[in-house]
Structure 1
Amino acid sequence: MEKEWAAAPRIERQGEDNRLILGDGRVIGFREYGAADGLPMLCFHGTPGSRFMFGIADEFARHKGLRLIAPERAGFGLSSFAKARPLARSADEMAALCDALGIERVAVAGVSGGAPFAVAFAAARPERVAAMGLVSPIGPFAGPESPKRIGPAHRLTFRVLPGVPLLYRVLFSFGRAGFLLVPDAMAALLISRSAPSDWRILSEKRVRKNLLRGLREGVRPGIGGAVEELRCFSRPWNLAFENITAPTILWQGLSDRNVPVSAALRLGELIPGCDVQRIEGAGHYWILRNYGHVLESVTRLAREAA
């Protein structure tokens, strides 16, 4: 696959927004946060989400000498839409981004729906990944890697609805309209269906504002990106987990209501040597108060590996 990007992908910069133009003309939008000359880390946003998600960690990254590179996946924000493809395909695009930035090895961090893409990169390009951190990750739902049991609501979301694409699109269209037109109401909805520990986190104005900004930009172009990703998650991932050599930490709140905890923990079992941190009482949005802890931990692993 690497030869497809040999047509020299190029980067276009416009203010803080950046675009990687791939050899086939598609675009990957991204932003950078932190120190321009710092230790590079690819940061994968959730589903839906955008390049804005990690903006809240900018000051911390500057202080710690980290260069956070936050790419958007197909159909989100500035990135071109593409039909659902194998997860491993995204690894080629991230390799092309690293090449265009002149980066040989990176740490990676994946949050929620971004975790499968971080794992795909680490499995397909193990020589390029120095360390990996996964937070509240979506785990596999199909094939031999899937957990034995998930709850009925998550079974409906990740196993049943992907087979009814029209209904999926209707539900996502309502959600998109809500985020664009009545974001405060959507924030209240997020809080109402979250774990009690998440209520306190999402009630903080700065945190809520950053989260909503990332979600609104993610769905601004449409719902295609989110729909295709959830369809992708519901199929066998077909990743060579055994190829992953990067030291990995996985943080999972045991009160998470957004992703199936059993699938997240199963993902930790599949990654060789993964340090799984089970956090009692924590919900899906634990990361929004713990960016510093996560980034510092992954950075430490990367520097130790180096």
Structure 2
Amino acid sequence: MASTERSEEPAVRTVRTAAGDVDCAVVGEGPPVLVVHGSPGGHDAGLAMARFLVADGLRAVVPDRPGYFDTPLSSGTTIDGQADLYAALLDALGIDRAGVLCWSGGGPSSYRFAVRHPDRVTAVVACAAVSRRYVFAGEKGADKLIMDTGFGRRMLQLMARHTPEKLVEATIASEGDLTKDQLAERVAHVMADPEREQFTLDLAVAANHTGPRKAGFDNDMAQFGAIESLELDRIGGPCLLVQGTADTDVLPDYSGFAAEQIPGAELVELATGTHLAFWVHPESAPVRQRAIELFRSAAG
């Protein structure tokens, strides 16, 4: 493995693989889990996704998918190309097999990784994951200003520092269909726990798809809109699917479809859960523990 350390982001390094360069952070000790961020996303989102794994003694391998930050789009333009990049990354890191934790737009390449390289995957945990053709309609009005402009990117960063509760509320409201009372209750639940609060803020900042996330996000939307089949019926081994029933970002039908297609898949639905349900829903702790147990037992 050849890599170059980056002083401004000590946890992130560029790993040179047979499939191309990929920026990656590796944190923790124990059985490895490949953590595949969504759309948009990046290692910052992936590291937030992985905190519970590291806290429970697992090792998280967190790449920037192609087009995000400094991972070149040429390292994996297509969904299958990204799946093959994951295998090459494990090769470069000297890892034979790993679990896979994916979320949202990380779903297609993770599912294809399990199809194309089944001997490299111990178990899959897919949270609100895209499992078939997905067409992005684009943001409008205030959402477009926040998510699709450099001004919006800076605004999210400022809100995370100075008005965190307002940003938590806006984030949960934008990714779930909740009543006013349900939203207030969910925000209070998140703000009562520093870990849930930090996760929500980290993902809110990563939701802007300009700057270092633009190339990856634009490519994702083009690739997802052209999906014909991910061949989910070819996935073997343990697979846990987690879905919030009030998710308006990736609708519950996507996890339902995956559950129908993947042999033996286990589907857990969190009532009134939004797109962040696996990490912040009031009843999500046992589901995360189930994921940890799955990764440990599958790793042998």
Query: Matched residues in 2 for 1:211 and 1:193: separation?
Result: 12
By how many angstroms is 1:95 displaced? Answer: 0.7
- 1:20/1:207 CA distance change after superposition, 3 Å: same
Question: Where do residues 45-124 of structure 1 align in structure 2 (5 Å cutoff)?
Answer: 45-56=37-48, 60-82=52-74, 85-124=77-116
* Paired position in structure 1 for 2:200: 208
Structure 2 CA distance, aligned partners of 1:61 and 1:87? 25
Q: Does 1:249 align with 2:230?
A: no
Once the 2 structures are TM-superposed, how far is the Cα of residue 233 of structure 1 from its aligned partner? Answer: 1.1
Amino acid across the alignment from 1:236: I
SS at match of 2:276: helix
2:16/2:92 contact within 8 Å kept: no
User: Alignment partner of 1:110: what SS?
Assistant: strand
What's the CA shift string for 1:3-59, capped at 9, x where partnerless?
xxxxxx6333332111122447x4311112222xx1100001111001112434666
User: Is 1:28–2:22 an aligned residue pair?
Assistant: yes
**For 1:113-146, what per-residue CA distance to the aligned partner results, in whole angstroms no more than 9, with x for missing partners?**
11112111111101110011011112212xxxxx
Query: 2:297 aligned to 288, 293, 304, which one?
Result: 304
Would the aligned equivalents of 1:45 and 1:114 in 2 still touch at CA under 8 Å? yes
> In structure 2, which of residues 137, 145, 148 is the aligned counterpart of residue 175 of structure 1?
148
Whether the 8 Å contact between 2:131 and 2:257 is mirrored in structure 1 is yes
**How far apart are residue 76 of structure 1 and its match?**
0.8
Whole-angstrom CA distance in 2 between matches of 1:40 and 1:260: 29
In structure 1, C-alpha distance between the alignment counterparts of 2:172 and 2:294, rounded to whole Å: 33
With 79-88 and 225-234 compared, the bigger mean Cα shift is at 79-88
2:100 alignment partner, SS class: strand
Q: Which amino acid aligns with 2:234?
A: N
Q: Secondary structure at the match of 1:61?
A: helix
CA distance in 2, matches of 1:135, 1:12: 32
Which whole-Å deviations, capped at 9, do the CAs of 1:242-277 have from their partners, x for residues lacking one?
331120000111110111221221122111111011
Query: What residue in structure 2 maps to residue 127 of structure 1?
Result: 119
TM-score, with structure 2 as normaliser: 0.78
Whether 1:193 aligns to 2:180 is no
Inter-CA distance 59–45: structure 2 relative to 1 (3 Å threshold): closer
Question: Which runs of 5 or more residues in structure 1 are unaligned?
Answer: 1-8, 142-157
Residues 172, 232 of structure 1: alpha-carbon distance in 2 compared, 3 angstrom cutoff: farther
* Equivalent residues, number: 272
2:34 aligned residue (23, 42, 46): 42
Give 1:289 deviation, angstroms. Answer: 2.4
Give the counterpart of 1:240 among 228, 231, 238: 231
User: Is 1:136 aligned to 2:128, yes or no?
Assistant: yes
In the alignment, structure 2 segments of 5+ residues that lack a partner are 160-165
Tell me which moved more, 229-238 or 247-256: 229-238
**Kept after mapping to 1: 8 A contact 2:132/2:229:** no
What is residue 150 of structure 1 aligned with on the other side? none
1:44-94 CA deviation, whole Å, 9 max, x = no partner? 111100111243466643442200111111111221124984322212100
Query: 1:302 Cα deviation (Å)?
Result: 3.5
- What's 1:259 paired with? 250
Please report how far the alpha carbon of residue 292 of structure 1 lies from its aligned counterpart in structure 2 after TM superposition: 5.8
Following superposition, the deviation at residue 301 of structure 1 comes to: 2.2
Distance 1:259 1:302 in 2: 24
Q: Could you tell which deviates more after superposition, 75-84 or 275-284?
A: 75-84
CA distance change for structure 1 residues 278 and 77 in 2, over 3 Å: closer, same or farther? same
The letter of the residue matching 1:194 is E
Once the 2 structures are TM-superposed, how far is the Cα of residue 180 of structure 1 from its aligned partner? 2.0
1:284 match: secondary structure: coil
CA contact (8 A) 2:33 2:295 kept: no
Residues 275-294 of structure 1 aligned to structure 2 (within 5 Å): 275-289=266-280, 293-294=286-287
- TM-score normalised over the length of structure 1: 0.77
RMSD: 3.1
Deviation, 1:240, is 3.3
